[in-house]
Structures are given as C-alpha cells and as structure tokens.
Amino acid sequence: MTDGPPQRLQVDWPRCRARGLCHELLPEAIGIDPWGYPVVEQALPADMVRAAREAVRVCPLSALHLRDS
Amino acid sequence: MTPRPRILPGPWLLRTSRPDLATHRATHGELPTMTLARLQEVIGTGQVRGRGGAGFPFATKLGAVAGRRGRRHVVINFSEGEPVSHKDLALALNAPHLVLDGACISAQALDVRTIQLVLPRERHDLRDAIELALAERRRHDPRSRVRWDLHLAAPRFVSGEASAVTELIAGRTPLPVTSWEPTAMSGVRGRPTLLSNAETFAHVAALVLPGGDGYAALGTPEEPGTTLLTLVHGPEDIEVVEVPHGSPWEDVLTAEQACEPLLLGGYHGTWVPAGGLRGQLVSRAALASQGLALGAGVVMPLPRDTCPLELTAQLLRYLAAQSAGRCGPCLNGLPALAHAFEQAVAGLPGSDLDELTSHLVGRGACAHPDGTVRLVRSALLAFPEEAQSHSHGNCLTSGRVRESVR
C-alpha cells in the first residue's frame, strides 16, 4: 500500500455513459444512482486505493479519475 | 425579444445614464496606472465579491491568476445565464466604460494585452452598446496596446457558466466541461484566466478610479460599496437599481412586495417566505445567515394570485429543458425532479423529492443541477403550509380542489 495524501474518486460527468464497470469492480466505494451513474462521494479508505486504480483503468470512457482529496 | 429594463439612477455605477466616454471620464476621472500589488491592495480593502452569482472574492481570484506563470487571459462575462437578470445589460447601456476600465486595469496589472468579452448573442442592444463603447475608446486612444476580442454566447442558461465561456473562447463547443482546477488557475486552453462578471469589473473600476473614496464610503465597513439588483415586477416590467450594501429592503421593495413571498437570486436562487425581508438589510452576510443568497441580484416578488409551488413547478420544467444534456445525473435527474415536483403539486404520488435532490448535488460539470436543487429545497422550506395543502389536493392560492386521480 502506498502512503501519500488521501485520495478520492472523481467522475468526469460529461464523459461518463453509465457503463457501470466501476461499480461492479468496487461496489464498496462506488455506488450507483437510479439511472446507473456512479456515486463516489466520500474520501477513499487507504486500503481501497489499489482497487480504485483498477476501476479507473478499466473505465471504457476514461471518465473515472483518482485525485488527491 | 426580452424586454428592455427601466434603469434607475444610482449612487455610483449608475450615476449617469449617458454612456459616452466623455461623460464617463468627467464623472469618474482618468484611469490610473497601477502595479499588481497596488491593485490588490485597493481591491482587498474594497472587498469586491463576484457578482455573477457565486460571490467569490475578486482579490483571491486575481491573486491566483497572478500566481501562475505563462500567458494569462482576462475575460469579461456579459452573458447572464439567469434569464430575468438584466443588471449587466443595464451596465452595458448606461456605464459600459466602467466595466471596460475595470477589465483594463486588471489586464494591465496581469500583463495581458487582449481582453476577451463574452456577449449574449440574442441581446443586440447590449452588443451595439459595447461595440459603440469600444469604437469610442479606439478613436480616443488609437495607440492603445489593449486589444478587445468579442465572443457571442448562445441564449441558454448554462452558456454563462465559467467552463462554457472558456470553451467558447477556445473555439470549442460552448458547453460546460469538467474543470479539475479553478478557472483562475486553468481556464482558456488551460491558461490562468481572470474570468469575472461584467458588474464585478465595474465595482473594481469604481474603487480604482479617482473619487473611489466616495464609493467605498457607501455601504457598510464589512461590505463597502453598492450592488445592482434586477427587480422583476412583472414579465414586461423590469427595473435595474443600484443600492448601497446595508440598505433596508424597504428602500428597494414596495410596502406590498415586502409582505409577499419573493424569489431571490434568480431561477437558481432561494424563495423567501412572505415578509421574510422586512426589517432586513441588503447584505450578502445577513442573507447568508438566513440561508439566503443574493446570487445574481435578481429580486422577483411572487406575482399576485400565483401559487409559489405552481410557479416553482413551471421554473423546474424550464430548468430541466435548459440542461446541456451532457452529464447523466442532470440529463436524467432534472426531468425526473421536475416531474416529481409537478406530481407533488398536483397532490399525486411521485418520487421522493429529498431522495431525488440528493442524487443531483455536486454531480455535474457545472452548477446547473445544484442551482435547481437549491430552488426546490427553498420552495419546500419557505412554503410548508402550501406544500401540506397541495399534498391533500388543495391549493391555498386558487382554492381549487384538485381531482385525485388513481
């Protein structure tokens, strides 16, 4: 696990097309709204950063970002 | 075509109704030369806050732009997203050189030669007024190094939003995009950009021009100076007034209006319950302490014999239609919210409003969903009796008992 500033997921909303891969991969940190779009409100627990990176990587539209919170 | 507002004479920005450069110079004096440090000092004491709606301190913005290296941009935003706001039009018609002076002094301090102007495409009177003012300046000082670039924004609610404006200037589709950093740090083509509302620049000029002491003496020590307000008495009856901060609302509203509910800030604003502004002052701080905001300065008393909830339902339909349709939560959520609100007003079952609004806040490239949610929440807060009555199929205004449909 890498130490560093706390990280959070952010969505590039105009890019997101609700494909839902991120939610399937990391339901603990990425919820889903009634229309299928991701809900990523809280800061990310440190032990989820690796899985979050994977979610960012697999997004087919490159709409998910991991940034310093 | 939108109506032309009545522009009332005011204590500073609207002191004269003659827009020509000679009158402007005779009234406000010559524009001084200022270093960035000096400008920051003057603006800092004047505590100019952005007048586009968000109320962000101008000095902080200026400092953030100045703190970044490389080519910078200065942008005057005349594109009033709020459809009933007419204050920037009033400035263009009566005091365009104040706005242009405010931008000039800022550009000079930031070593920017070209000033970008964003004008609403559909307001020909505003465009003509600005082009006339720019032509006057070129004639008066043909050797000036300042260049002016005009851009026309489409008539839609989100066109005046910061990232839509920077996209327009960059020559891309002029709709909001995700900005990971503030416009001041990364605006037009990723460059540091001082983007402010036209009125904001006019207040900067009021502080900087000789005789600015008189301006700062208006208002209160905490909120020096004045603010422009658009008073919407009716769809065709619109006034723009300039009032010193700290003025009683009774100076602005008629006795009757002060007793009625009113919408403050615009369609992205907050409802004030009946009589809510009586004994209160025109002050951003005082309003904020009550959960209210001046926003873009729109003051819209509830028209006679109008149900505030039915009017809110109409505004929501409009706002939902104004979505750029780019961000999923806004594209799907605003129509759903408008529909759910309509159902509630009709006393019919529908989606839970609290839950729907929670799906919208902070989930878009611009603040359109947030502003729309603000309107809904304030309506429910300001009119609990009306909401209760509607839930039983009754309207307190029209007295109608609605048919309950299964």
Closest CA–CA distance from residue B118 to any residue of chain A (Å): 23
How many interface pairs between A and B have CB atoms less than 8 angstroms apart? Answer: 46
Segment B318-354, tens digit of pLDDT: 999 999 999 999 999 999 999 999 999 999 988 999 9
> A17: which chain B residues are within 8 Å (Cβ-Cβ)?
328
pLDDT tier for residue B405 given thresholds of 50, 70 and 90? very low
pLDDT at A2: 52
> B362: which chain A residues are within 8 Å (Cβ-Cβ)?
41
Segment B201-229, tens digit of pLDDT: 999 999 999 876 789 889 998 899 999 99
pLDDT of B399 over the 90 cut: no
**3-class state of residue A32 by DSSP:** strand
**Residue B79: closest CA among B21, B124, B110, B121:** B121
> A9: which chain B residues are within 8 Å (Cβ-Cβ)?
none
> B336: which chain A residues are within 8 Å (Cβ-Cβ)?
34
pLDDT at A18: 97
Closest CA–CA distance from residue A3 to any residue of chain B (Å): 23
pLDDT at B401: 53
pLDDT at B45: 72
Closest Cβ–Cβ partner in B175, B176, B332 for A35 = B332
Report the C-alpha gap between B131 and B136 in whole angstroms: 9
pLDDT at A3: 62
Taking CB atoms and an 8 Å limit, are A16 and B332 in contact across chains? no
- Helix-helix angle B58-66:B36-46, to 10 degrees: 160
Segment A17-47, tens digit of pLDDT: 999 999 999 999 999 999 999 999 778 998 9
Rounded average pLDDT over B185-197 = 95
> B327: which chain A residues are within 8 Å (Cβ-Cβ)?
13-14, 16
Handedness of CA B307, B313, B314, B319 (dihedral sign): positive
Comparing alpha-carbon positions, the chain B residue that sits nearest to A12 is: B178
Segment B131-165, tens digit of pLDDT: 999 999 999 999 999 999 999 999 889 998 999 99
> What ipTM is given for this predicted complex?
0.93
Segment among B1-10, B335-344, B367-376 with least mean pLDDT: B1-10
Segment A45-69, tens digit of pLDDT: 989 999 999 999 999 999 999 988 7
Segment B25-39, tens digit of pLDDT: 999 999 999 999 999
Asked if residues B350 and B343 have their Cβ atoms less than 8 Å apart, the reply is yes
- Helix-helix angle B87-94:B124-140, to 10 degrees: 40
> B354: which chain A residues are within 8 Å (Cβ-Cβ)?
none
Q: 3-state SS string over chain B?
A: CCCCCEECCCCCCCCCCCCCHHHHHHHHCCCCCCCHHHHHHHHHHHCCECCCCCCCEHHHHHHHHHCCCCCCEEEEECCCCCCCCCHHHHHHHHCHHHHHHHHHHHHHHCCCCEEEEEEECCCHHHHHHHHHHHHHHHHHCCCCCCEEEEEEECCCHHHHCHHHHHHHHCCCCCCCCCCCCCCCCCCHHHCCEEEEEHHHHHHHHHHHCCCHHHHHHCECCCCECEEEEEEEEECCEEEEEEEECCCEHHHCCCHHHHHCCEEECCCCCEEECCCCCCCCECCHHHHHCCCCCCCCCEEEECCCCCCHHHHHHHHHHHHHHCCCCCCHHHHHHHHHHHHHHHHHHCCCCCCCHHHHHHCCCCCCCCCHHHHHHHHHHHHHHHCHHHHHHHHCCECCCCCCECCCCC
pLDDT of B46 over the 70 cut: no
pLDDT at B398: 83
Report the C-alpha gap between B243 and B241 in whole angstroms: 6
Mutate which of B181, B339, B352, B363 to test chain A, going by most A C-beta atoms within 10 A?
Answer: B363
Could you tell me the maximum CA-CA distance found in chain A, to the nearest angstrom?
35
Taking CB atoms and an 8 Å limit, are A15 and B178 in contact across chains? yes
Mutate which of A7, A12, A32, A33 to test chain B, going by most B C-beta atoms within 10 A?
Answer: A33
What predicted TM-score, i.e. pTM, was given to this entire model?
Answer: 0.94
Q: Compute the CA torsion angle B282, B287, B292, B298 (nearest 10 deg).
A: 10
**Residue B85: closest CA among B398, B280, B294:** B294
Neighbours of B220 (CB within 10 A): 16
Computed over every residue of chain B, the mean pLDDT equals 93
pLDDT tier for residue B2 given thresholds of 50, 70 and 90? low
Segment B87-139, tens digit of pLDDT: 999 999 999 999 999 999 999 999 999 999 999 999 999 999 999 999 999 99
Asked if residues A52 and A66 have their Cβ atoms less than 8 Å apart, the reply is yes
pLDDT at B139: 97
Neighbours of B21 (CB within 10 A): 18
Segment B244-262, tens digit of pLDDT: 999 999 999 999 999 999 9
pLDDT at B406: 39
User: Which pair of tokens denotes residue B317?
Assistant: 């339909």
